[in-house]
Amino acid sequence: MSTETTKPVRYSDEDLAEFKSIILEKIKNAEKQLKVYMDAYKNGSANDTEDTSPTFKSFDDGSSTLSKEANSQLAIRQEKFIRDLKNALIRIENKSYGICRVTGKLIQKERLKLVPHATLSIEAKNKQS
């Protein structure tokens, strides 16, 4: 039996700092987008120049309701995305970021750069399908 202790698999502090900056930028952009959705939802019937556009004249009366519902759904999705990104920041702080919650292996850097809130490796994600 070996007395050698194995170091837990995790990303280096430098990698975590890089991921943190990516996530913070994504949160900033996502919060801006959420504000757009919320403003569009709350002010869907405002009398601005957009309601005189020819494209809006072709819609029926239900379109503004549909638009409000669509913006509401987009806002809900955006709020979840922001929450997932903030949870990823917590995982960075406790140094568990980038570790697949199913396999325990590191999630590929390329995947984390594209989907920084990912908690599953491609391998684990494919097994779910």
Tens digit of pLDDT at every position of the chain (129 positions): 444 555 568 999 999 999 999 999 999 999 999 999 898 878 754 444 444 444 544 455 556 666 888 888 999 999 999 999 999 999 999 999 999 999 999 999 999 999 999 999 999 988 886
- 30 within a domain of the structure (yes/no): yes
Closest CA to 44 of 3, 18, 10, 72: 72
Based on the structure, what is the number of domains in the chain? 1
Query: For position 111, what pLDDT does the model report?
Result: 96
Spell out the residues 6+ positions from residue 85 whose beta carbon is closer than 8 angstroms to its own: 23, 26, 27, 30, 116, 117
CB 88 within 8 A of CB 97: yes
Determine the Cα–Cα distance for residues 66 and 71; give it in Å rounded to an integer: 9
Domain membership flag for residue 34: yes
pLDDT of residue 104: 94
Residue 69: domain span: 13-128
The answer to whether 2 touches 39, Cβ cutoff 8 Å, is: no
Q: Does residue 83 belong to any structural domain of this protein?
A: yes
CATH of the domain at 106: 1.20.120.910
pTM: 0.76
80 found inside a domain: yes
Asked whether residue 89 is assigned to any structural domain, the reply reads yes
Please say whether the beta carbons of 30 and 85 come within 8 A: yes
Measure the CA–CA gap between 54 and 104, rounded to whole angstroms.
Answer: 55
Contact present, 92 and 23 (Cβ < 8 Å): yes
What's the pLDDT at 58?
Answer: 45
- The reported pLDDT for the residue numbered 66 is 62
Please indicate, yes or no, if residue 4 is contained in any of the structural domains.
no
Residue 6 falls within a domain, yes or no?
A: no
CA distance 120 to 1: 32
- Is the residue at 2 inside a domain? no
